Chains A and B, each alone.
Chain A
Amino acid sequence: MRQKTNLSDELKWVARKLFEENRIDLLIGYEKGTLPLHNRPCFVSSVEGVDKLVWDSLCANNLATYLPRLFTRTHRPKGWKPPRVAIVAKGCDARSVVGLIKEKQAPRENIVILGVPCDGVVDLRKIEDALDGACPVSAKVAEDGSIMLQLDSGKSVQVSREKALFDACSDCPYPDAPVFDIRIGREIGDKSARRPFKDVEEFEAKSPEPRWKYFLEEMSKCIRCYACRQACPNCYCPTCFAEQTQPKWLGVGADLPEVMYFHLGRIFHQAGRCVDCGACVRACPMGIDLRIFTRKMVKDVQELFGYEAGISLDEPPPLCTFKMEDDESFITEP
């Protein structure tokens, strides 16, 4: 019987069935990691690996980022066939999958989207802030969503769900996968009326100087490890513009002008594509606030073209289409 009580168990049940019915070759999901609070991506290729699957609010990574590389045709042996892949997808992740399908980076017929209901993932940095230097040795998610931590000092600490939640999650308009093949658990329900751009509006309201200052401050933290890009499902270019040599757009150093150029390029390439999953921010080891800038793109595209990325498979991406009535107000005289 299909259990409705525990999402991890239900996920395992579905995964097992998919393998037993030979409907997939690979499943990308989450397993328990080696560090407290770190559930991590895992690749399951047979029914034997199913039991390690977990699903809870510690499953933060956007797994869609792994899809393009599974379907690239370079370096494949003769007779290679693209795999059939099931992917565990929160609302944001599913939107990324949709984006990749639309951008022809993953064939729809090869993907089984396992939509999981997500009421937010835990932000490790917020937990670290709450612990103030203390070292957790284990963590678990309580019934009410709060995080229970065991410290190396022997003490235990509880951090409330509200305090632990990743910023993007508290106002997330799509807690359920808008496009899915199999739904795990119960739908959380429509939250699409949420328009979480308060911080962007506040930022826009500032004069250019403080905005520029903030941008520079954030950029100066960058060590150019490309973790933001690598974690981002949208950044699948085989050769990123930042690393092209013919022509060479920018230098490879971590000096401020190069770093700014790289991030500006990346941010603008997110227009109409970013689903605000926060993968870039979570991957960044230097804690750069990249979201304020990518979200400006999200907001602009929404306002200019009424488009939200990854909501439907049919709606053409705004930057790939032209309509006579398209807003032109952003075009300025040189």
Chain B
Amino acid sequence: MAETITARAMEKKKFADFTRAIVDNGYQLYGPAIEGREAIIAQIAEQADVSFDYRNFKMSPKDLFLSQSEVLCRFCRGEIVPDAAADDGRRVLLGIRPCDAKAISLMDKVFLQEPADSYYKRKRDNTVVISAVCSSPEDTCFCTSVGGSPASTEGSDILLTDLGESYLLEPVTPKGEDFLNRFSSLTRNASKNEVREKERIVEEAASRMQKMDLEGIAERFAKAFESDLWDTPSQRCLGCGICTYFCPTCHCFDVTDETLHENGRRLRTWDSCMYSLFTLHASGHNPRPSQRERTRQRFMHKFSYSVDNYGELFCVGCGRCIKHCPVNIDLREVIAP
């Protein structure tokens, strides 16, 4: 990649012009905002002072593609009524980490496969993803063990690297290329040194993460289905939804109707395979009656079924489930060879 001169660079002092130009071009700009001690992704004003020196966003950006609550349709007296066109408009997602961008590419496999999920697709089509290379992974991070890297490009349209004085901007997709071309007056060709510096940053970050050898985990898990591997984590599991809600690839949802007098809406909301009611039939039968089956389901889905179905692990190593679990269920202990 270093040889191709597709990489652009932007002086940091021009970055405010860049974000202003993005907004002036009619995009909603989502980027890093600091809330208390934590970084979150939020719609930001064009003059916002953007910096990328957070470790990662507290929650993944999946809510921007698969909202926690989303209206599928509205109805009145039992009949569907046209919705005031929920046009999300064009958006730029700035500063998500490559692990979260990769998670979007995994969600694509589920939601864009036929029949495509029209709600997800519209948001995906309308969004330019500019991810920011990760230079300071947390001690719960393990992206390199699950096929990622602090600079992986899957799911991103443009990859940004903070080089201190300047930003390196590498287009990943034609969409990203087009986007950068529109702001070409603010960028210049990146120098070889800049590209080299990025590589150094990435190597440095990668070296700080422990690496597990997960080769063949899908088969290993398939064989372990009836084993005691699940006993310890499931005994401890409280059955809350933190791991699934914080996970950038967990995408299970519920569909329910809500009505007030004659009007109502059909709503899609996040759900979790950790909840006891998730698979409960109306008859009272529950195919996953205890937390053991439910805990196993989550691991099997991410590390075995997804490999069978999509050829990919549905874990990007962001470590959020580890960091936020109230009883310290550490996914790494379960998946480690």
Contacts and interface: CB of A to CB of B under 8 A. Distances in A.
Interface of A: 33-35, 38, 40-43, 61, 65-66, 69, 74-75, 128-129, 132-133, 135, 137, 152, 223-227, 229-231, 238-239, 243, 251-255, 282-283, 285, 287
A42 B236 contact: yes
B238 to A, nearest CB: 4
Given A75-B290, A253-B69, A255-B69, A225 B258 contact: no
A287 B59 CA distance: 13
| Overall SS of chain A's interface | loop
| Overall SS of chain B's interface | loop
Contacts of B269: 252-254
Given A35-B328, A43-B236, A251 B267 contact: yes
A225 B272 CA distance: 9
9 contacts: A38-B328, A42-B236, A224-B68, A225-B240, A226-B275, A251-B258, A253-B267, A255-B69, A285-B242
A34 B327 contact: no
Contacts of A41: 236, 327
Contacts of B271: 252
A73 B291 CA distance: 15
Interface in B303-334: 322-324, 326-328, 330, 332-333
Contacts of A231: 238, 240, 326
Contacts of A254: 68-69, 269-270
A252 B290 CA distance: 22
Given A61-B327, A285-B246, 20 more contacts: A34-B322, A35-B328, A43-B236, A65-B238, A66-B235, A75-B290, A128-B37, A135-B138, A135-B139, A226-B241, A227-B240, A227-B241, A227-B242, A231-B238, A251-B258, A251-B267, A253-B258, A253-B269, A254-B269, A255-B69
Contacts of A243: 275, 277
8 closest A-B pairs by beta carbon, nearest first, are: A253-B69, A283-B326, A227-B240, A40-B328, A33-B328, A230-B238, A230-B240, A225-B241
A225 B238 contact: no
A231 B326 CA distance: 8
Contact of A227 (B37, B235, B322, B326): B326
B216 interface: no
The contact size tier of chain B is 35 or more
Contact of A43 (B235, B256, B258): B235
A69 B235 CA distance: 10
Given A34-B333, A231-B240, A239-B277, A223 B68 contact: yes
A282 B328 contact: no
A11 B271 CA distance: 40
B310 to A, nearest CB: 26
Given A40-B327, A254-B269, A75 B238 contact: no
